[in-house]
Chains A and B, each alone.
Chain A
Amino acid sequence: MPASSALRRREFTRPVEGRMVAGVAVGLADGLGLDANVVRCGFVVLAVASGLGVIVYGIAWLLMPSDPEGSSRREPVGGDAVATCAFGAVVLGALLLVRALGLWPGDVVVWPLVASLVGLALLAMRTGTGTATAELPDWALLRRLPPDAADAVAVLIGTRRGVLARIAAGIACVAVGLAAFVVSVDSWSALRGTLVASVAVVIGVALVVGPGVSRLVHALVEERRERIRADERADVAAHLHDSVLQTLALVQRRADDPREVVRLARMQERELRAWLLGGDAPDASAGSSLGAALEEVAASIESEQGIPVEVVRVRDCGIDGAEPLLAAAREAILNAARHSGASRVAVYLEVEPDQATIFVRDRGRGFDPAAVPADRGGISHSIVGRMTRVKGRATVRSTVNEGTEIELVLPLTKTIEAS
Chain B
Amino acid sequence: MTEPPRVFLVDDHQLFLAGVRAELGDAVDVLGAASDVDAAVEMIRERQPEVVLVDVHMPGGGGARVITEVARTHPDVRFLALSVSDAPEDVIATIRAGARGYVTKTIAPDELLDAIARVRDGDAVFSPRLAGFVLDAFADVAPIAADPELDQLTPREREVLRLIARGYAYKEVARDLGISTKTVETHVSSVLRKLQLSSRHQLARWASDRRLI
B165 touches A348 (CB 8 A): yes
Smallest CB-CB separation from B128: which chain A residue? A312
B128 touches A348 (CB 8 A): yes
Flag whether A224 is at the interface (Cβ < 8 A): no
CB of B153, distance to nearest CB on chain A (Å): 12
Chain B residues with a Cβ closer than 8 Å to the other chain, count = 17
Stretch from B17-25, B67-75, B132-140, B182-190 contacting the other chain: B132-140
Flag whether B61 is at the interface (Cβ < 8 A): no
CB contact between B167 and one of A273, A277, A313, A346 (< 8 Å): that residue: A346
The docked-state distance in angstroms from the alpha carbon of A308 to that of B107 is: 12
B213 touches A312 (CB 8 A): no
CB of B206, distance to nearest CB on chain A (Å): 10
CB of B209, distance to nearest CB on chain A (Å): 11
Contacts of B211 in A (CB 8 A): 277
CB of A283, distance to nearest CB on chain B (Å): 14
The docked-state distance in angstroms from the alpha carbon of A193 to that of B168 is: 92
Given known contacts A348-B128, A350-B135, A314 and B213 CB-to-CB distance under 8 angstroms? no
CB contact between A314 and one of B136, B167, B168 (< 8 Å): that residue: B136
Smallest CB-CB separation from B84: which chain A residue? A269
B139 touches A315 (CB 8 A): yes
CB contact between B165 and one of A277, A314, A363, A405 (< 8 Å): that residue: A314
The docked-state distance in angstroms from the alpha carbon of A154 to that of B162 is: 81
Flag whether B145 is at the interface (Cβ < 8 A): no
Q: A254-293 vs B: 1/0 string, CB under 8 Å?
A: 0000000000000000000100011000000100000010
Chain A residues with a Cβ closer than 8 Å to the other chain, count = 19
A273 touches B86 (CB 8 A): yes
B162 touches A277 (CB 8 A): no
Contacts of A359 in B (CB 8 A): 166-167
Contacts of B139 in A (CB 8 A): 314-315
Contacts of B179 in A (CB 8 A): none
Flag whether B65 is at the interface (Cβ < 8 A): no
For window 354-384 of A, CB contacts with B under 8 Å fall at 359, 361, 363
Which 6 interchain pairs have the tightest Cβ spacing? A346-B167, A312-B132, A348-B166, A314-B135, A359-B166, A314-B136
